[in-house]
């Protein structure tokens, strides 16, 4: 059986991106590999094996074009309201909390935030299928 192990995004500034993912999601640098033309930084926390891989292409100065194909990555949390307030307090500009209902029942509570490179991240309340 296959196991998801990481997602990769290209970022302009390593420090800025590591700082964001540490503040927002408690991810820490698990490994860092420096090559001539690029650096790979793997971020994770103790709650999951899944990692966020940051690829920093050296010499790149222009923002990446995210196009219309990228959707989002999602994290789930115990206290969505508390996390929303914490994000706002850190100046991370979370969007408003939304709710989805299906067949009269709550399916999901969530908000979105963007990282420094414009990648969309969904933060979901642990509930139902989102655990």
Q: Is 122 a catalytic residue?
A: yes
What is the C-alpha separation between 39 and 22, in angstroms, rounded? 18
Out of 13, 28, 62, 122, pick the active-site residue.
122
Structure tokens at 30: 């698990």
Main-chain dihedrals φ then ψ at residue 88, nearest 5 degrees: -60, -45
Q: Which residues share a beta bridge with 112?
A: 122
What is the C-alpha separation between 16 and 44, in angstroms, rounded? 16
Q: Which residues are catalytic?
A: 122
């Amino acid at each position: 059986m296959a196991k998801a192990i990481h997602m990769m995004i290209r970022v302009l500034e390593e420090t800025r991106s590591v700082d964001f993912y540490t503040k927002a999601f408690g991810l820490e640098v698990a490994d860092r590999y420096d090559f001539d033309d690029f650096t790979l930084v793997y971020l994770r926390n103790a709650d999951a094996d899944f990692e966020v891989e940051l690829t920093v292409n050296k010499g790149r100065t222009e923002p990446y074009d995210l196009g219309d194909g990228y959707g989002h990555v999602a994290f789930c949390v115990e206290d969505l309201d508390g996390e929303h307030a914490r994000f706002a307090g850190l100046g991370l500009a979370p969007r408003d909390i939304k709710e989805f209902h299906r067949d009269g029942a709550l399916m999901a509570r969530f908000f979105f935030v963007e990282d420094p490179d414009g990648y969309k991240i969904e933060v979901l309340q642990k509930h139902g299928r989102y655990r």
